[in-house]
Amino acid sequence: MKNLQYLTNTKVVAALVLLCIMASSCKKLIEIPASPPSQLSSAQVFADSTNIIGAIAGIYTNFGVTTGGGLITNSMLYTGLSGDEVTTGAYDVGDVQFMNNSLISSNTYISKMWSDAYSNIYQVNACIAGITSATAISAALKKQLIGEIKVVRALYYFRLVNLYGGVPLVLSTDYTATAKIPRATVDNVYLQITTDLTDAVKALSVNYPSAGRARPNIYVAKALLANVYLYRGDWQNAETLTTEVINSGVYSLESDLNNVFLDGSNEAIWQLPANGQYSQTADGQFFVPYSDGVASSYPISAFLKSAFEPGDQRLQKWIGTSLVDENGDGNLTASYYPYKYKNRDAAVTPAEDYMMIRLGEVYLIRAEARARLSKLAEATADENTVRTRAGLSVSTAASSTEVLASIMHERQTELFCEGASRWFDLKRWATIDVVLGAEKPNWKSSFALFPIPVDQIRLNPFLTQNPGYN
């Protein structure tokens, strides 16, 4: 993954947008060739409506949900290792650093997540600028396209600020102005996230812009904005927006847990299609063993397994089991792994798509917001909607403290290995030191933030390192 310093030539951006449109796999735009085959201006690229839509499609392909390797998929995996969800063998030094909470600022995966995020944010900014000045499409389509890609930019900054703390807030393609930009405060990053999502809510409609639910509509923007409000303690707005999504009638919980992550899931609010040549989702590749009798590369932790109540269908359907002869003596040992995505190979049916946000999470966002607003009966009703689907009896929590604790536990078992939710939850609830201090022998409070990549600090003297790292 090349560094952002390679993005000094603004003409290259336009050329790479065009290359992305023409390439069947639409590879990451950060992989810039030494001598681009063409040097088209951005005006030429954004003068054609087909090219504009192709450039938008490339933004979603760059999430890497089929192949992994980017911020969106890897932040889930590496927070799972750093937290209490999954473990790994001593095969990959970078992975082990996450699991043992011994990260260093030169960790390759830390650098890749950062670079992937900012290269794709650069592409988003280039598209916003190009579409704004384009004459080939109507004003209404401009508004819609800019709205949906502002959702993407908001998502990237949401992950970045929760992984690294305050980060550089890059909103243009002017490299001379952004190359030496310092870290923004956490509050300012969240202000930009909220602004982008609020703009998206105003720009988008209830209709999805294309087939399926791959490109955001208004309810995607509202669901993500509700989650941001939850993280910022704006309980009323979180409740209001989630209610609008739930009451829309567009979405419903899948009664069978095995159907939640399938292509066309009724529960999906935002779901990206699996389009890899060899695999469907990165999660299937990460977690599902390549053959019977082989342990997963990332089995779930004993702590996560013990969190499920007796009779919880999520343990039965979302946790896989592999019987492994670990010592070669014929004695089989059960190894457990995340099994929300069951297809390791591209050809397996029924097809699975990558879930960005779904109705089950929205119910739990509203449950927590209502509990914080002392609407305990309503909060418990939302939690019970999720519990009932999992085959569990209703919650018996009564006091405010009990209801919140029950909802927190429900988030752990419903949203495990999804979108880094568990890691982010532990931090925003201020329970990360207590929980991980008991589970991780090397745990220190400073590990709640990942280090800023050392290569980025060397390039930008205005970047400062997070406490606890060199």
Q: Is the pLDDT of residue 459 over 50?
A: yes
* Range of lowest pLDDT (56-65, 129-138, 440-449): 56-65
Tell me, yes or no, whether 259 and 295 share the same domain.
Answer: yes
Cα separation, 230 vs 371, whole angstroms: 12
Where is pLDDT greater, at 9 or 138? 138
Residue 8 lies in a domain: yes
Is 277 buried (19+), middle (13-18) or exposed (0-12) by CB count in 10 A? Answer: exposed
**Average pLDDT value for residue range 71-100:** 95
Q: How confident is the model at residue 297 (pLDDT cuts 50, 70, 90)?
A: very high
Cα separation, 350 vs 343, whole angstroms: 9
Residue 237 lies in a domain: yes
Residue 429 lies in a domain: no
* Range of lowest pLDDT (41-45, 49-53, 187-191): 41-45
Q: Is the pLDDT of residue 458 over 50?
A: yes
Which of 27-31, 33-37, 260-264 is most confident? 260-264
**Average pLDDT value for residue range 15-26:** 37
Tell me, yes or no, whether 229 and 166 share the same domain.
Answer: no
Q: What does the pLDDT read at residue 334?
A: 95
* Range of lowest pLDDT (234-243, 321-330, 338-347): 321-330
Domains: count for the chain: 2
Q: Is the pLDDT of residue 15 over 50?
A: no
For residue 218, give the CATH number of its domain: 1.25.40.390
Tell me, yes or no, whether 255 and 401 share the same domain.
Answer: yes
Residue 453 lies in a domain: no
- How confident is the model over 92-119, as pLDDT tens digits? 999 999 999 999 999 999 999 999 999 9
Tell me, yes or no, whether 60 and 171 share the same domain.
Answer: yes
**Average pLDDT value for residue range 226-237:** 98
Where is pLDDT greater, at 156 or 51? 156
Tell me, yes or no, whether 177 and 223 share the same domain.
Answer: no
Q: Which domain holds residue 97?
A: 4-182
Residue 431 lies in a domain: no
The angle at the Cα of 386, spanning 380 to 392, to the nearest 5 degrees, equals 90
Q: What does the pLDDT read at residue 44?
A: 63
Look at the alpha carbons of 31, 36, 38, 41 in this order and tell me if their dihedral is positive or negative: positive
Tell me, yes or no, whether 230 and 352 share the same domain.
Answer: yes
Tell me, yes or no, whether 80 and 211 share the same domain.
Answer: no
Q: Would residue 433 be called left, alpha or beta, if left means φ above 0 and alpha means ψ between -120 and 50 degrees?
A: alpha
Q: What is the mean pLDDT of the chain?
A: 90
Percent of the chain with pLDDT over 70: 90
Q: What does the pLDDT read at residue 115?
A: 94
Percent of the chain with pLDDT over 90: 79
Residue 293 lies in a domain: yes
Residue 15 lies in a domain: yes
Q: Is the pLDDT of residue 12 over 90?
A: no
Cα separation, 372 vs 327, whole angstroms: 50
Q: Which of 49, 50, 52 is nearest to 14 (CA)?
A: 52
Q: Is the pLDDT of residue 1 over 80?
A: no
Tell me, yes or no, whether 275 and 155 share the same domain.
Answer: no
Q: What is the DSSP string of 384-424?
A: HHHHHHTT-PPP---SHHHHHHHHHHHHHHHSTTSTTHHHH
Tell me, yes or no, whether 150 and 214 share the same domain.
Answer: no
Tell me, yes or no, whether 258 and 136 share the same domain.
Answer: no
**Average pLDDT value for residue range 244-262:** 98
- How confident is the model over 195-220, as pLDDT tens digits? 999 999 999 999 999 989 999 999 99
Q: Is the pLDDT of residue 330 over 50?
A: yes
pTM of the entire predicted model: 0.91
Tell me, yes or no, whether 175 and 224 share the same domain.
Answer: no
For residue 39, give the CATH number of its domain: 1.25.40
Q: How confident is the model at residue 42 (pLDDT cuts 50, 70, 90)?
A: low
Domain boundary among 182, 213, 242: 182
Cα separation, 224 vs 216, whole angstroms: 10
Tell me, yes or no, whether 255 and 385 share the same domain.
Answer: yes
Residue 199 lies in a domain: no
Cα separation, 63 vs 458, whole angstroms: 26
Q: Is the pLDDT of residue 287 over 70?
A: yes
Q: What does the pLDDT read at residue 79?
A: 98
Q: How confident is the model at residue 61 (pLDDT cuts 50, 70, 90)?
A: confident
Q: How confident is the model at residue 327 (pLDDT cuts 50, 70, 90)?
A: confident
**Average pLDDT value for residue range 66-73:** 89
> Do 291 and 259 meet the contact criterion of CB atoms below 8 Å apart?
no
Residue tagged 């950060």 (tokens): 30
